[in-house]
Amino acid sequence: VTIIMRGKPVVERLYLEMESLKQEHPALQERQAALATLAVGDLSAANSYRTSIECSCVRAGIAHLPIDLPQQTSGEVLGRTIASLNNNQEVSGILVFMPLPERISRRVVLGTLSPFKDVDGITPESQGRLRLDLAGLRPSCPLGGVEILDFYGIEPSAKDVVVVGRSPVVGGPLSTMLMHRDATVTLAHRRTSGLAELCRGASIVALAAGSPGLLTNDMVTPETVVLDFGANMVEGKIRGDAERGALEGYVAALSPVPGGTGPATAAVLVRNVLFAALASASGSLDVLPRAGTERRSSPVANSVTSSS
């Protein structure tokens, strides 16, 4: 039978941790942490994510400040908006929804956003800290995936892992996190040849390709653990990158879409807002955990038989 790695219990654990984090740190009690979410233009794709962020903020006792800039906003105005949020002491974290309109270079965001408020770990400072295994704010989506693996007792150490997709917010940082967790990581992408064979040889296949039904039965074995970050709209329904119908009942474990990595992402993002508030309060990013690297105990350890 396939273990369905649902996000829900992982999320519950994250909220419990956030509660203790608040109790441990007076700085988090003195001032309510706040997350600004910034969207440029119509972002129907981001709207459901924003709704779930909103719910997560409420639950964590964090203020949510949604900001919408018109589609024709210039890079300069976006840069100034981010700069003023950087300087706003009421704002602990800033999330800018991607993709931006094509006219605006990503560099506007990457170069302006304060690393202290970079709750999605996109800045060069955050990405460098992750690569160098230093404390810092990590991209929430891949970190949510690592939290799921830890929760279900799936140990990446010494395993062959294939990550499909190399984007800077999902596949790229996930491969780095799992590398730091002593996995042997292959980072596959659109130009990779022999993907099926690569995936078949892996213990863990992580999907971050944005391609519905990409992972089919012939690309996995009964030992495969599938971590699915896909969030594709197909006929009005959200679908992952795995062909779930075919894989469920066949592979060792899989994270469902919806209900898997998505909820974990939102909870990790909100925890990042608390982390960001802590970093700002202490004036240093070095007070943060080396999240994604430190192994976390599993309440359900041994429920997934590690393939020998």
* Residues making contact with ligand ADP (CB under 6 A): 164-167, 169-171, 188-190, 192, 195, 208-211, 214
- Residue closer to ligand ADP by CB (options 209, 281) is 209
- Residue closer to ligand ADP by CB (options 156, 240) is 240
State the alpha helices, DSSP H only, in the chain.
8-24, 26-30, 44-60, 75-87, 106-112, 124-131, 140-151, 171-180, 195-200, 244-247, 261-282
Amino acid found at 170: V
Helix or strand or coil: residue 146?
helix
Q: CB of residue 44 vs ligand ADP: minimum separation in angstroms?
A: 16
| Residue for token pair 């800039």 | 69
Q: CB of residue 187 vs ligand ADP: minimum separation in angstroms?
A: 9
Please say whether the beta carbons of 141 and 265 come within 8 A: yes
- Residue closer to ligand ADP by CB (options 13, 138) is 138
- Residue closer to ligand ADP by CB (options 135, 170) is 170
Q: CB of residue 121 vs ligand ADP: minimum separation in angstroms?
A: 13
- Residue closer to ligand ADP by CB (options 104, 169) is 169
Please give the C-alpha separations between residue 21 and each of 7, 90, 152, 276, in angstroms, as whole numbers: 21, 19, 23, 12
| Residue for token pair 């981001």 | 46
Q: CB of residue 243 vs ligand ADP: minimum separation in angstroms?
A: 13
Q: CB of residue 240 vs ligand ADP: minimum separation in angstroms?
A: 11
Helix or strand or coil: residue 96?
strand
Q: CB of residue 165 vs ligand ADP: minimum separation in angstroms?
A: 3
CA distance 191 to 213: 18
- Residue closer to ligand ADP by CB (options 82, 208) is 208
Structure-block tokens of residue 224: 């495969």
